């Protein structure tokens, strides 16, 4: 599966984030996949420690990946759906959460 984004409407971090959320292809750059996973794990570790660790702060420091971290943090905060819907709209993708996906169990029941 591959995605065609309206790349002129998205920053490189936003395009990478959408690919990460939709699932990676085999051809994706392993570094981008590892970066988004590291950001997600840093968020979880910081949340679990109650502020004792500062992994996200270090990932978002100058010279690291501030744009990616800022995008992830804003998505995980209270207005995540608004950010997600804006990214989907600007990328020209169909909102996958709105479609009903037929599972193997549904197909067997129908048959």
Q: What is the rounded average pLDDT of the residues 57-83?
A: 87
Question: Hey, where are the domains in the chain?
Answer: 8-110
**56 C-beta neighbours (distance < 10 Å), count:** 21
Query: pLDDT band at 64, cuts 50/70/90?
Result: confident
Per-position DSSP letters for 20-59, written without gaps between them: HHH---TTS-HHHHHHHHHHHHHHHHHHHHTTS--HHHHH
Predicted confidence band of residue 100 (pLDDT cuts 50, 70, 90): low
Check whether 70 has a pLDDT greater than 80: yes
Higher pLDDT, 1 or 11: 11
In this prediction the pTM is: 0.67
């Amino acid at each position: 599966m591959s995605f065609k984004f309206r790349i002129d409407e998205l920053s490189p971090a936003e395009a990478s984030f959408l690919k990460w959320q939709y699932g990676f292809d085999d051809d994706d750059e392993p570094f981008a996949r590892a970066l988004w996973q590291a950001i997600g794990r840093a968020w979880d570790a910081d949340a679990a420690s109650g502020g004792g660790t500062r992994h996200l702060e270090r990932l978002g420091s100058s010279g690291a990946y501030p744009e990616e971290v800022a995008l992830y943090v804003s998505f995980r905060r209270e207005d995540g759906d608004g950010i997600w819907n804006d990214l989907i709209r600007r990328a020209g993708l169909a909102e996958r959460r709105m479609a009903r996906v037929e599972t193997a169990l549904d197909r067997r029941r129908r048959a």
